[in-house]
Amino acid sequence: MAKKIYSTYPMVKYLRKEALPTALCPGCGGGTVLNAFANAIDGLKIDPKDLVVVSGIGCSAWIASPYFLADTLHTTHGRAIAFATGVKVGLPDKKVVVISGDGDLASIGGNHLLHAARRNIDITVILVNNFIYGMTGGQVAPTTPFGAKTTTSPYRNIEHPLQISETVAAAGASYVARWTTAHVYQLIESIKKALQVKGFSLVEVISQCPVQFGRRNRMKEPAEMLRWFLKNSVPVSRARNMSPEELEGKFVIGEFVNRERPEFTTELNKLIDEVQEHFGLKEE
From first to last of its 284 residues, what are the pLDDT tens digits of the chain?
555 656 789 999 999 999 999 999 999 999 999 999 999 999 999 999 999 999 999 999 999 999 999 999 999 999 999 999 999 999 999 999 999 999 999 999 999 999 999 999 999 999 999 999 998 999 999 999 999 999 999 999 999 999 999 999 999 999 999 999 999 999 999 999 999 999 999 999 999 999 999 999 999 999 999 999 999 999 999 999 999 999 999 999 999 999 999 999 999 999 999 999 889 887 76
User: Using CB atoms within 10 A of its CB, is residue 174 exposed (0-12), middle (13-18) or buried (19+)?
Assistant: buried
CATH number of 24-279: 3.40.50.970
* Residues 159 and 146 sit within 8 Å (Cβ to Cβ): yes
Residue spans per domain, the chain: 24-279
Q: Which helix (H) or strand (E) holds 52?
A: strand 51-55
* Residue type at position 105: L
**Angle between the N-to-C axes of helices 184-196 and 30-44, in degrees from 0 to 180, rounded to the nearest 10:** 50
Q: Which residues contact 17 (CB under 8 A, 6 or more apart)?
A: 4, 5
The predicted model scores a pTM of: 0.95
